[in-house]
């Protein structure tokens, strides 16, 4: 292990597995992803940014399997909002934009054609 190799002789290193989760991936061409992209574009006025990232949300696969439905994680903050850092924050425009986006997404997933007013 790299940490053991670089640790000074005066440091004792031990590693133990705390938890794990199986990976989940919803294909980018899935209709739910398309609906989410359309909702983001309708509310924000811009095209969504697709980011294939790792994360530690073990519940995602459990939800996907239990509901037999895709999971489409959406982010509404920006990197400078310092997610999970001591100075984490979320601008109110992103908070309310996220709410509007989810409302539009639910309408689309329910087959409704109307959106919400900006």
Band of the pLDDT at 115, cuts 50, 70, 90? very low
Q: Do residues 100 and 108 make contact, with C-beta atoms less than 8 angstroms apart?
A: no
CB 26 within 8 A of CB 12: no
User: Domain span at residue 103?
Assistant: 21-109
Asked if the structure places residue 58 within a domain, the reply is yes
Domain membership of residue 1 (yes or no) is: no
117 found inside a domain: no
Judge whether 13 lies within some domain.
Answer: no
pLDDT grade for 80, boundaries at 50, 70 and 90: very high
Please say whether the beta carbons of 40 and 74 come within 8 A.
yes
Q: Which of 41-45, 53-57, 109-113 has the highest mean pLDDT?
A: 41-45
14 belongs to a structural domain? no
In-domain check, residue 11: no
Task: Report yes or no on 9 lying in a domain.
Answer: no
- The answer as to whether 114 is a domain residue is no
Report the predicted TM-score, pTM, of the whole model to 2 decimal places: 0.74
Note whether 118 and 43 are within 8 A (CB). yes
Count of structural domains within the chain: 1
């Amino acid at each position: 292990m790299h940490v053991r190799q670089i640790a000074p002789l005066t440091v004792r290193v031990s590693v133990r597995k705390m938890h794990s989760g199986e990976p989940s991936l919803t294909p980018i061409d899935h209709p739910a992803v398309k609906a989410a992209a359309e909702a983001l574009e309708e509310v924000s006025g811009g095209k969504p940014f697709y980011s294939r990232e790792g994360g530690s949300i073990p519940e995602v696969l459990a939800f996907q399997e239990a509901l037999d439905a895709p999971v489409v994680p959406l982010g509404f903050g920006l990197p400078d909002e310092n997610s999970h850092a001591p100075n984490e924050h979320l601008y109110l425009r992103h908070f309310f934009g996220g709410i509007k986006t989810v409302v539009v997404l639910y309408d689309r997933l329910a087959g409704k054609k109307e959106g919400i007013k900006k």
